[in-house]
Amino acid sequence: MPNKNLTRRLLTAALAALLLAGLAGLSGCALLGKKEISSLSDHSYGGKSYRATGNAGAVCRTASAQKGTYYKYGGATPQTGFDCSGLLYWSFRQNGVNVPRTAKQQSTAGRRVDRSALVPGDILVFKIKSGYHTALYLGDNRFVHSPRTGAKVREENLAQAYWKNAYVGARRII
């Protein structure tokens, strides 16, 4: 018969961990729904700062933390590496938001957003030679993505000629 005290301690520890994780994810707004979370996160890129709210800020931080991870076609974890859509898929899922897995599917997910109305956490969609490419908008014309074989997850500027010309739209999930 298993030790009842050990079982009780393990269950108590697991419950406490789940409770703390849930509270941390709500950022102090336990009575509000996901769309109403108003906690703000400050971020700085290229000497300028922006503010992302709630889950969008968490998704931006999660994706940005993967800078330096190698590109891997079909990859969707830090251990395997990421392709473009895998980085977004994993980053959103780490924050409790489901998005489609492929760039083509991501290009129609959520709702369409005008370029002039981009906010951190929006999915950027590009049409490149090999098909669709997706990235996560960070604010101030910056985005994070997993670009191609042999490259690492990195930030780029949407104003660069290549990305400016390849841009075909954006989608808002959260």
Please check the confidence at residue 76 and state whether its pLDDT lies above 50: yes
How many CB atoms are closer than 10 A to CB 77? 14
Q: Which residues contact 75 (CB under 8 A, 6 or more apart)?
A: 81, 82, 83, 86, 146
* Cβ partners under 8 Å of residue 112, min gap 6: 169, 170, 171, 172
Range 32-172 classified under CATH 3.90.1720.10: yes
- Model-level pTM greater than 0.85? no
Position 23 scores a pLDDT of: 30
| Residues involved in catalysis | 84, 133, 145
**Taking the domains of the chain in order of start, what are their residue ranges?**
1-30, 32-172
pLDDT digits (tens, 9 = 90+) for 28-72: 222 222 222 223 333 333 443 344 557 999 999 999 999 999 999
List strand residue ranges (DSSP E) for the chain, in order: 40-45, 48-53, 76-77, 81-82, 111-113, 123-128, 131-139, 142-145, 154-157, 167-172
